[in-house]
Amino acid sequence: MTAHRQIGPVALGALVPKDDLRPVYRFAPSPNGFLHIGHAYSALRNFDMARRADGRFLLRIEDVDVDRCRLAYEQAIYEDLEWLGISWSEPALRQSEHFSIYAQAVEALQERGLLYPCFCSRLEISRAVSGMRDWPRDPDGGPLYPGTCRNLSEEERARRLASGQHAALRLDMAQAVGQGGRLLGWSEYGEGDNVRDVHAKPSLWGDCVLARKDVPTSYHISVVVDDARQGVSDVVRGKDLFDATSLHRLLQELFDLPAPRYHHHDLLRDPAGQKLSKSTRAKSLRALREEGVTAQDVRKRLGFS
């Protein structure tokens, strides 16, 4: 294999005190709406596990999606967590202040020939696959990328870029799996002491976007880079991100980053059995607060004393 740029936690600017061996947990919300009871559960779960393990609990603001994130929501995150009785060990890491680090990680993949520019719009992609029966979808429900731009010639790419066309960067999944190892997996911690080995299936995501047209990174790049920089030992998050972990493991392998332990907890559902989310209009913590619900009520309802 050709030598590649050493990326690793040190090259990325590790943020962990060297001699601190305590486990590290984190809650990593995106400030694109107000926190609801599902977030409260995830945050309390992390906070509680960190406390029991005599570990550190960090707050990370995942605000790389500059279109959807708002300062007012970020401010509300601090207030809502404090209201719940959650405190964090150091100032929150705001991802929007670290774009240059994520760009380095993206460049490292580019140098290895694992990314290619994609000029397609969403509409073009859905048109390209519209006639195909049973076209595969990624775990988020989007159609797998049909590969339209994968085989453009270098001249064509250069021509389009020079003419000012914006490009997203997509992972060449087949190549990445070839370089990152086919036998990836992770340790999934269940309830109690039960641990199982999960095989990663990054190919479920196809040639996914790792840097957007307008933002030089993506959730997947930033989360993997920051979990490593912050020395996160235990990623505790909802089951909705279970499949994303396959892709995160592949990126960790490509970047020579350690794999944290993972625990994907059940998602809270509303009485109709729907997953709680901003889009299903789950009541925000602040709305509950205004109705007179106390933090103690919320903690109790979620099973935390």
Which residues are CB-neighbours of 177 under 8 A, at least 6 positions away?
202, 203, 250
Specify the residue, 149 or 223, whose C-beta has the smaller distance to ligand GLU: 223
Which residues are CB-neighbours of 275 under 8 A, at least 6 positions away?
38, 240, 267, 268, 269
Q: How far is the CB of 173 from ligand GLU (least distance, A)?
A: 20
* Alpha carbon distance, N-terminus to C-terminus of the chain: 53
- Segment near ligand GLU (CB under 6 A); pick from 25-33, 49-57, 116-124, 145-153: 25-33
Of 201, 213, 275, 278, the active-site residue reads: 278
Specify the residue, 28 or 149, whose C-beta has the smaller distance to ligand GLU: 28
How many positions of this chain bind ligand GLU (CB under 6 A)? 7
- Segment near ligand GLU (CB under 6 A); pick from 24-32, 70-78, 81-89, 153-161: 24-32
Site for ligand GLU in 83-112 (CB under 6 A): none
Which residues are CB-neighbours of 63 under 8 A, at least 6 positions away?
30, 31, 69, 74, 94, 95, 96
CA distance 136 to 145: 9
Residue of 241, 267, 293, 295 interacting with ligand GLU (CB under 6 A): 241
Per DSSP (E only), the strands in 23-86 are: 24-27, 56-61
- Report if residue 284 touches ligand GLU, rule: CB under 6 A: no
Specify the residue, 149 or 225, whose C-beta has the smaller distance to ligand GLU: 225
Inter-helix orientation angle 99-111/219-229, to 10°: 110
- Report if residue 63 touches ligand GLU, rule: CB under 6 A: no
CA atoms within 13 A on the CB side of 159: 5
- Report if residue 28 touches ligand GLU, rule: CB under 6 A: yes
- Report if residue 223 touches ligand GLU, rule: CB under 6 A: yes
Is 278 a residue of the active site?
yes
**61 pairs with which residues across the strands?**
94
Q: How far is the CB of 222 from ligand GLU (least distance, A)?
A: 9
- Report if residue 128 touches ligand GLU, rule: CB under 6 A: no
Residues designated catalytic: 278
Footprint of ligand GLU on this chain (CB under 6 A)? 28-30, 62, 223, 237, 241
